[in-house]
Structure 1
Amino acid sequence: MKILALEFSSRMRSVAAVKAGPGEQPAAVATGSDLGSRGTRAFQLITTVLKEAAWERDDVDTIAVGLGPGSYHGVRVAIAIAQGWSVAKKVRLIGVSSADALAAMLVLKGQQAPFIVVIDAQRGEFYRADYTVESGVAREVCALRLAKTAEIHDCLNSGKNVFGPDSADRLPGIREAFPTAATVGFLAAKMPTETSGASLEPIYLREPAFVKAPPPRFA
């Protein structure tokens, strides 16, 4: 299985070419901090990764997408690329939680103690998921949920291991870390089922809120 993985949920966007198999390493990884106003930077990252991996576009049989939570724009760009690719090339699509990808990356880098992943949810809240480490694998022990900023401060003040992207200015003491396309690809390789293109949606725990505009007033 040759997987093209896209992780655009934080400011550190990345693309990886991952060949599934025991002990496999990503064939190539490219990282950027800006997708551009129309996502053009994303295609530059993809082109770079395919070239470095010596893959043709037709070699890709699976596209894995980090579904967030995180940057709504970034995740939407990744989903749009995956959906368009699947129409043109009939590849498998697999969606992966970006929080799980971040947790997996931390364990690969040596994290052994229980930890918390937090991702900015705006409006004074954060997405929070709690993990423990069992046999070298991150296990979610408290499902992803919304938490108030004060709750995350309490976790930091009590000495808990708290990691997350793009939040150092609002959460002093957080250990900054970013989900990576490589771990999105590795997690996707272990998933038995694919996701239909129409079912790929950003992970977003809030109910949509709309404010109805008042009717126009005519003099």
Structure 2
Amino acid sequence: MLLLALDTATPAVTVALHDGESVIAESSQVDARRHGELLLPAVDRVLAEAGRKLDAVTGIVVGVGPGPYTGLRVGIVTAATFASVLEVPVHSLCTLDGIAFAAGQAGLEGEFVVATDARRKEVYWARYADARTRVTEPAVDRPAELAERVEGLTAVGAGAALYPDSFTDVRADLPQHQSAGALAALAVEKLRTGGEFLPPQPLYLRRPDAQVPANYKVVTPQ
């Protein structure tokens, strides 16, 4: 087994290789505006560090969000392209689940909430019974509207850190962004236990920021 994992649903452009036992190479760069520019060089860097060729990959793992439209589609399209060229399966996972799993790897136990920055003064979030068990569907909300629902819960993620008035028990020592290494490890666990994966479709949860103009300006002669 050799899984290539990637995620661009958060400001982190993160890529990892997992051989079924452990992460053998990983790269993460936090830059919310350069997903398309950074992703493929990160793949090349990880493969070179591991001393592997792309054609040795047996599966692609990708985080499908929720996340902002532009960044999220970079990772999903890249994953689909690799899978098609290599003729290997795509294993899609919720990005929030990857962050939750990483928090568990760092020692977090019990109930908690994961929140990432959704911009527009909102967060993408979900609640977890433990690092492997999500108990709510991913959602996008304003932090102030969540205060009562997350009261008393440990909070993980950059989105939670942005709004300490709403997420009052933020663990800054735990992962803030996605880790492709943790995402790959979660996928390996699911593959071995027969766990379910998501469809390889983006979890946008809201309309994209970019809109087609309602009225086009006529620039040709009538």
- Tell me: CA distance 1:82–1:123, structure 2 relative to 1, closer, same or farther (3 Å): same
Q: Indicate the larger mover: 207-216 or 116-125.
A: 207-216
In the comparison of the two structures, how many residue pairs are matched? 210
- Tell me: CA distance 1:13–1:205, structure 2 relative to 1, closer, same or farther (3 Å): same
- AA in 2 matched with 1:175: R
Paired position in structure 2 for 1:19: 19
Whether the 8 Å contact between 2:125 and 2:138 is mirrored in structure 1 is yes
**Other structure's SS at 2:202 match:** coil
- Tell me: CA distance 1:171–1:72, structure 2 relative to 1, closer, same or farther (3 Å): farther
RMSD, matched Cα: 3.1
Paired position in structure 2 for 1:159: 152
**Other structure's SS at 2:161 match:** coil
- AA in 2 matched with 1:111: L
- Tell me: CA distance 1:71–1:208, structure 2 relative to 1, closer, same or farther (3 Å): closer
Identity of aligned residues (%): 29
CA shift, 1:118, in A, is 1.5
Paired position in structure 1 for 2:202: 202
Paired position in structure 2 for 1:7: 7
CA shift, 1:82, in A, is 1.3
Q: Distance in 2 between matches of 1:58 and 1:214?
A: 47
- The normalised TM-score by structure 2 is 0.80
Deviation sequence 1:83-138 (CA, Å, 0-9, x none): 221232212111110011111110111001310111233444322211122xxx52
CA shift, 1:194, in A, is 9.1
Q: What stretches of structure 2 of length at least 5 have no aligned partner? A: none
- Tell me: CA distance 1:8–1:217, structure 2 relative to 1, closer, same or farther (3 Å): closer
Q: Distance in 1 between matches of 2:109 and 2:34?
A: 39
- Tell me: CA distance 1:12–1:207, structure 2 relative to 1, closer, same or farther (3 Å): closer
**Other structure's SS at 1:107 match:** helix
Q: Indicate the larger mover: 97-106 or 11-20.
A: 11-20
Match for 1:71 among 68, 71, 75?
68
- Tell me: CA distance 1:38–1:144, structure 2 relative to 1, closer, same or farther (3 Å): closer
Whether the 8 Å contact between 1:153 and 1:171 is mirrored in structure 2 is no
- Tell me: CA distance 1:109–1:84, structure 2 relative to 1, closer, same or farther (3 Å): same
CA shift, 1:30, in A, is 0.9
Structure 2 residue 136 is matched with structure 1 residue 142: yes
CA shift, 1:212, in A, is 6.6
Q: Which structure 1 residue ranges, 4+ long, deviate > 6 Å from structure 2?
A: 193-196, 208-212
Whether the 8 Å contact between 2:13 and 2:38 is mirrored in structure 1 is no
**Other structure's SS at 1:27 match:** strand
| Structure with greater strand share of residues | 1
